[in-house]
């Protein structure tokens, strides 16, 4: 006789994921009955009790609730490599539970069918109802109270630690005021005509976030890693790029460069200048970096250079890429700063979402769009205009930047002070 469909490893892994990352418990659609083995079943019941009592889920609170589960909780934590794969483990547990339910329904139907004293026709509606229930999708609508509960907890957590910048800080005060910092789970699309400094601004933001203690990855598909890091080294050391490239470096400049190297080497920053990335390989690398290095953001320069082959034309391909990047940021809860090119309309001076290269679907899939343009009044200034911001409620969506003389770095500019840049 075939064995009952179960996976003890998957059940233990789900428990381990929740203990490692309690936040994922609210996202998991499993009931106690979905577990087959006693310890996982009992532990899941304890998780539910702790949540109802508004208590934290961890080894200590589980053991306090049910002392016999203490050793089991410690064991699953030690044997769960990462909480990032919780969705895969949940899927396995759900599939096994569903199969057991099908077997149970089939067994009941067979029993009544063999029993000639049973009115099988009257039983059919009951079995159909149970079958429909058993085949319901993993993701289904739910009462609003579940989401409200999550939102309430989020508000309470933020109230306990209030701050103006509630995302990752960019280092540019005006930008942080508009956005609240880069937000996890969201894609910030930066566009503009060539030569205005999109890559420069993105790298400046990336290294500020890394210096603030937030690990991240840069995928630089347009320039070489030497070009990119030389500019960052120039800013950090105070030695101009032209000086480094000429080799005419003085003693003090050499000391400054060495000191800058030492600082940059300590940053939690990862880098690739490969030109072969696709959205699939990008996702795989980001999962790896999040598991191993706890990254919180990634920079992509730029969207069009991804090598995905999809659709009948470039519009469909770019729409697919935009949608995939949205899913990556949301699924992995990462901040994504993506550079994108403009179409002919944008090149002719028209800014906004309509100026983005490729399908208009991209503008719907990303969460924020900022377009860099030359300031019509002050030629040495760059306007950064936010054309889309999902949750922005600031007074202005316009930021004025100027490049620091002699160095690849932007600074925020104020009207009347533009001559200083």
CATH of the domain at 95: 1.10.860.10
- Within this chain, do residues 240 and 144 fall inside the same structural domain, yes or no? no
- Within this chain, do residues 18 and 119 fall inside the same structural domain, yes or no? yes
- Within this chain, do residues 129 and 193 fall inside the same structural domain, yes or no? no
Q: How many domains does the chain divide into?
A: 2
Residue 163 lies in a domain: no
Residue 158 lies in a domain: no
Q: If DSSP states are collapsed to H, E and C, what string results for the chain?
A: CCCCCCCHHHHHHHHHHHHHCHHHHHHCCCCHHHCCCHHHHHHHHHHHHHHHCCCCCCHHHHHHHCHHHHHHHHHHHHHCCCCCCHHHHHHHHHHHHHHHHHHHHHHHHHHHHHCCCCCHHHHHHHHHHHHHHHCCCCCCCCCHHHHHHHHHHHHHHHHHCCCCCCCECCCCHHHHHHHCCECCCCEEEEEECCCCCHHHHHHHHHHHHHHCCCCEEEEECCCCHHHHHHHHHHHHHCCCHHHHHHCCCCHHHHHHHHHHHHHHHCCCEEEECCCCCCHHHHHHHHHHHHHHHCCCEEEEECHHHCCCCCCCCHHHHHHHHHHHHHHHHHHHCCEEEEEECECHHHHCCCCCHHHECCCCHHHHHCCEEEEEEECCCCCCEEEEEEEEECCCCCCCCEEEEEECCCCCCEEECCCCCHHHC
- Within this chain, do residues 250 and 111 fall inside the same structural domain, yes or no? no
The three-point CA angle 359-184-186 to 5° equals: 10
The CATH number that applies at residue 298 is 3.40.50.300
- Within this chain, do residues 236 and 384 fall inside the same structural domain, yes or no? yes
- Within this chain, do residues 282 and 414 fall inside the same structural domain, yes or no? yes
Which of 94, 115, 148 is the last residue before a domain boundary?
A: 148
- Within this chain, do residues 189 and 330 fall inside the same structural domain, yes or no? yes
Residue 58 lies in a domain: yes
pLDDT at 206: 94
pLDDT at 138: 52
pLDDT at 185: 92
Residue 306 lies in a domain: yes
Residue 161 lies in a domain: no
- Within this chain, do residues 295 and 377 fall inside the same structural domain, yes or no? yes
- Within this chain, do residues 69 and 209 fall inside the same structural domain, yes or no? no
pLDDT tens-digit readout, 80-139: 877 788 888 999 999 999 899 889 888 888 888 888 887 777 666 666 666 656 655 555
Residue 154 lies in a domain: no
- Within this chain, do residues 124 and 190 fall inside the same structural domain, yes or no? no
Residue 156 lies in a domain: no
Domain containing residue 390: 173-420
Residue 293 lies in a domain: yes
pLDDT at 112: 81
- Within this chain, do residues 273 and 377 fall inside the same structural domain, yes or no? yes
pLDDT at 344: 61
- Within this chain, do residues 105 and 226 fall inside the same structural domain, yes or no? no
Residue ranges of the chain with per-residue pLDDT less than 50: 416-421
């Amino acid at each position: 006789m075939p064995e009952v469909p179960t996976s003890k490893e998957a059940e233990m892994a789900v428990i381990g994921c929740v203990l490692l990352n309690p936040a994922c418990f609210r996202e998991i659609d499993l009931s106690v009955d979905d577990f087959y083995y006693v310890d996982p079943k009992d532990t899941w019941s304890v998780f539910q009790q702790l949540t109802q009592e508004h208590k934290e889920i961890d080894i200590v609170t589980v053991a306090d609730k049910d002392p016999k589960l203490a050793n089991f909780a410690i064991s699953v934590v030690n044997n769960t490599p990462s909480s990032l794969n919780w969705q895969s483990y949940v899927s396995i547990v759900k599939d096994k539970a569903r199969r057991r339910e099908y077997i149970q329904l089939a067994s009941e139907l067979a029993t009544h069918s063999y029993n000639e004293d049973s009115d099988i026709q009257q039983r059919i509606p009951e079995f159909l109802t149970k079958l429909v229930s058993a085949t319901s999708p993993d993701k289904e609508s739910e009462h609003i109270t579940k989401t409200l509960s999550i939102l309430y907890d989020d508000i309470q957590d933020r109230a306990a630690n209030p701050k103006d910048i509630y995302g990752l800080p960019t280092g540019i005060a005006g930008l942080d005021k508009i956005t609240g910092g880069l937000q996890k789970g969201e894609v910030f699309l930066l566009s503009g005509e060539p030569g205005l400094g999109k890559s420069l601004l993105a790298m400046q933001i990336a290294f500020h976030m890394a210096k603030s203690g937030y690990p991240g990855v840069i995928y630089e598909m347009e320039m070489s890693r030497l070009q990119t890091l030389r500019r960052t080294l120039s800013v950090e050391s105070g030695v101009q790029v032209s000086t480094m490239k000429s080799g005419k470096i003085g003693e003090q400049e050499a000391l400054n460069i060495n000191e800058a190297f030492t600082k940059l080497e300590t940053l939690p920053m990862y880098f690739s200048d490969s030109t072969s990335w696709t959205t699939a390989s990008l996702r795989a690398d980001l999962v790896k970096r999040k598991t191993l290095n706890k990254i919180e953001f990634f920079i992509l320069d730029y969207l069009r250079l991804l090598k995905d082959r999809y659709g009948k034309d470039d519009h469909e391909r770019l729409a697919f890429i935009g949608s995939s990047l949205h899913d990556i940021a949301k699924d992995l809860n990462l901040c994504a700063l993506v550079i994108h090119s403009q179409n002919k309309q944008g090149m002719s001076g028209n800014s906004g979402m309509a100026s983005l290269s490729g399908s208009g679907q991209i503008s719907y899939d990303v969460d924020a769009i900022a377009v860099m343009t030359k300031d019509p009044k002050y030629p040495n200034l760059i306007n950064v205009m936010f054309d889309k911001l999902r949750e922005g409620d600031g007074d202005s969506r316009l930021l004025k930047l100027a490049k620091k003389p002699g160095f690849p770095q932007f600074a925020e500019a104020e009207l009347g002070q533009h001559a200083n840049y």
